[in-house]
Each structure stands twice: as structure tokens, then as C-alpha cells.
Amino acid sequence: MLEFLYAGTYWEHAEDKRGILPSEKLYKRYVERAEPRTDEQKERDPVMVNVRMFALADKFGIAGLKKEVMKKWDGYAEECLEQRPSAGKTTVGMERRARAVMGSFQRLMDAAEVANDLVPGSELAEKILRTVAQVAPWVSRLQNAEKYKELMVRLGGNSELALRMFDLTCRASDEFIQVQSQRQDRIIESKLAVRETGEKIIDRLHAAACDHSRFRELRCPPHTCSRSRVGYRANVAEPAFDEDDGVFQWCCKNCDESWDADEIMPGLSDTQRASSDDDEDDG
């Protein structure tokens, strides 16, 4: 704390690491082990140092030190735990966040237990707990049975921590369900777009097949490449699938221009399609 009072900040890592790398890079050197950490490893962990500094700031009413601790936590969480706001908006982002948190599970749970004991309900304690709680629905999804067992053991021995974790996990589950729902909506929208544009392509090919004079309309709309390097037939607009947008479209193989499915034969209507069907029946 003296370092903060003199310098306005403090070094949370081992003293022999000072000046070697920036603080946020040193956080990334943490390696999750299968065996439990020793008391000494917990004591020297920089996240635990931040918890103790926050507790001192809370005890002595040092608002600036609290702010500095939260700044360090937020930097660590964003750099190492995928806590950027955008990371939790998609299924892939949430899974990446879950893997990052599981990769620092012991560190985070040790800090959560101490923070919940020293400064329960504080901003720091809530952020640490929320970081674990928001990926709890993913623990079984990632088939991480050992982490799940460890979580249950820790919560079983601390009723207050278990209650707070349960509340935050329920809230996180709502977010998980919302992201999954949005993902399903996007899948449905994508399938509908494929079907809609595919039908437009088929309608136009069908119209041309029923009325051969309309084949001239299946050309590169600007008609500027008809006599270029590979001849007249090269400017025929061909159906193609745009993988980026996930829709069918028309593409000129000669000039590489592309158009929406309804830009070829733009006047084609339901009436014209019905007329084409009648002509085919008469034939």
C-alpha cells in the first residue's frame, strides 16, 4: 500500500518480475494445474494480491486505491478472460470466454472465496464471482467434469458463496438462453434467405425455359462485356451461391460482376410465372 501512496499505483507480481514485462502480460503466464495450489502459490498470485489491496482500501476508505485495483482487474479480465462486451454476444464468443475462465479456474475461485470473505458484496467480489458464474452453464457443455466437481466441492463448503454463485449463475443462464435463441433465429433467417433467393433463381430459369425468347434476358445486365475477350456467350449470367452473404445470386463469369436474384428479369411477377406454367401445360 505504501507504494500506491507514493506512486499512485502498485506492483502486484513477484518483485523479480518487475520491469521484465508489462503487468497484463505477466498475468498470461499463469498455468492451470491439475493438482490444488499450495498456500504460498495462492498468497503470491497477483489476482489474490489485488483482492487484499482492495480489502485494505475498503478498510481505510482509500477510494483511489479501490479504483486502481478495479482498473487492474478490468485489464486482466479483458486481456486474459475474454471479458470484452462483444465476446459474450455470440455462441462462439461465449464458448471462447468459458475456455479462458476454465483455464484460470483455481486462480479465480481462490480469489472469489477470499473476496467474498473479506469484502462481501463489493464491486470486486461481484466481478470475480460473475466471471465464473457467467460460464457455469458451459462447464458441462465443454465436458469439463473435473472443474465441475471442484466447483461443487468449493460451494459445498461455503454456503454464502454458494448462494451468491447460484443467483449470478441463474442470471447468466438467462443470457446463455438469449444468445442461443438469437443463434437459432439467425440460422432460420439464413435458411429462409437461401430458400427465397433460390426460388427467384429457379423462377427465372423456368420462365426462360418456357419462353426461349427470354433467354436473352439471362445476360450480364450492363451488357458491356458481350464482345470481350472470350466472346458473346461469356456474358450469360449464371446462378451462383454467395458464401459470405449466404444467398443465391447471378454472376457473370466474364466480368465477375454479380447481382441479386431478382435483378435479372426484374419484371417477373407471380402473373408471369403463372402464365409460364399455363404455357407449359398447353405444350
Asked if 90 contacts 179 with a C-beta cutoff of 8 angstroms, the reply is: yes
242 forms beta bridges with 247
List alpha helices for 8-62, DSSP H.
23-27, 39-44, 46-60
User: Which pLDDT belongs to residue 147?
Assistant: 79
User: Which pLDDT belongs to residue 271?
Assistant: 44
Q: What is the CA radius of gyration of the chain?
A: 31
Q: How far apart are CA 238 and CA 30, in angstroms?
A: 55
Give the distance between the most distant pair of CA atoms in the chain. Answer: 96
Spell out the per-residue pLDDT of the chain, length 283, in tens: 889 888 999 999 999 999 888 888 899 999 998 888 999 999 999 999 999 999 999 999 999 999 999 999 999 999 898 776 655 556 677 778 888 888 999 999 999 999 999 999 999 999 999 898 888 777 666 556 777 788 888 888 888 888 888 888 877 766 666 666 666 667 788 888 888 888 888 888 888 888 888 877 777 766 556 554 444 445 778 888 888 888 888 888 777 788 888 888 876 754 454 454 455 455 4
Q: How far apart are CA 111 and CA 165, in angstroms?
A: 14
Sort 235 into a burial class: Cβ within 10 Å, 0-12 / 13-18 / 19+: buried
Length of the chain, please?
283
pTM of structure: 0.62
User: Which pLDDT belongs to residue 34?
Assistant: 85
Helix axes 159-210, 91-102, angle to 10 degrees: 150
Q: How far apart are CA 12 and CA 5, in angstroms?
A: 15
Domain extents in the chain: 2-157, 192-282
